[in-house]
Each structure stands twice: as C-alpha cells, then as structure tokens.
A = this chain, B = another copy of it.
Amino acid sequence: MLQQGKDLLTEHGYHGTGLKKILDTVKVPKGSFYNYFESKEQFASEIIEQYGRDLTKKLNDFIEQSRDNPLDTLRNIYLRMVADIEKNGPKGCLVGNLAAEIGASSELCQKSMLNAFVSWKTPFTTLISDAQTKGLIRDDLGAEVLFDLLWETWQGALLKVKIDGKTEHLIQTVDVMLYHLFLPLTSGENKRI
C-alpha cells in the first residue's frame, strides 16, 4: 500500500492525490484505510518514512558492494539515479517534491522528511570523508557541508529537469560538482569532462 502511495504522491503531489484516487489504487475501502491511518497526512508521513528507510538501505548495500574508490562510488550512485529517471521519467524525488508543496504546512510530513534526510546523510558523508582522506575531494570544507551542497544541487537539478525536460544535465551537474568544484585545492587542473 505504501509503495503504491509513494508512486501516486511522487507523480501527482500531495493535494493532487485525492483520497479517492488512493483508495481506488490501493483497492482498500475507506473504512479499512482509516483503520491503518488516522488521516491522509499520516499516510503521506509513513510513506516518506518508508521511502527514507528504503533509500538508505539501497545506498548502504550499493556502497558495501562497490569496488571503486569513494569518489567514483559517489558518482555511480548518481548515475544509477539518473538511469532510473531516464527510464521512469523526471518525476523528481518524493522528499523534494513534497518539501516544495507541503514542507511549510504539514509539521508531521516535515518531521518525516527530516528523518529521511538525516538517514541519507550518514552513508554520503562517510563516502565523502573517505574520499577526503584519500585526497580525492578537497578537505578545507567538512564532509557534512559538502553533502548538504551536493543534496541541494541535486534537488535543484531535478527541478530544472522538470522545467526544461533535459535529463542529460543531471550527470553534468554532478560531474561539475564532484570533478571540478570538489577537487582538492592543490590539484588545480580539471581532471574530467
């Protein structure tokens, strides 16, 4: 039920997904729905929590299995997300979309979005910090600062795809961040792209 709900909310947004559409899709009568969830808001909040946990698990599994250096592993995570977007269309990130629409109005969903964000922070900052130790990423800024920037830039890039429809910019944005702006200060030269 949460997976179908996630697809609806990602594609149509919070207000664009009426309760009737949810009930029709998950094939559950209204009464039963309210046995599971107090409200549509609580339903959305649980979907966000589940999405946060799923993505964190995927990230950890991917990192554990990677045989590349931490910088390339980081890039490969984004490459995989880009491939998913090219396959399924630029629907955006559930958390980014709902933050834009109801982040400022639903305290419950806001809390779940923050939980998701925090849970993604650890695998990413561990990778960045590891890349800094290996001299692959500049270390004049903390791993958390760089992760925040990368998350923000990625979310903005997802928005831009929705405006110009060009998914090819996504990996260009990530590459400019990782292989230009994040380069150690001493290396000077551009290495990629």
Give the interface of A toward B (CB within 8 A). 11-16, 89-92, 95-97, 99-105, 110, 113-114, 117, 140-141, 145, 148-149, 151-157, 159-160, 162-165, 169, 173, 176-177, 180-182, 185-186, 188, 190
Q: How far is A163 from B173 in the complex, measured between Cα atoms in Å? A: 23
**Copies, count:** 2
Central interface residue in A154, A163, A165, A190, by most chain B CB within 10 Å: A163
Central interface residue in A97, A160, A188, by most chain B CB within 10 Å: A160
Is the Cβ of B89 less than 8 Å from the Cβ of A104?
yes
Is the Cβ of A159 less than 8 Å from the Cβ of B15?
no
> Could you list some 19 contacts between A and B, CB below 8 A?
A13-B14, A13-B15, A13-B100, A92-B103, A97-B101, A99-B162, A100-B101, A110-B163, A140-B190, A148-B160, A148-B169, A149-B153, A149-B173, A152-B152, A152-B153, A152-B156, A152-B160, A153-B156, A155-B160
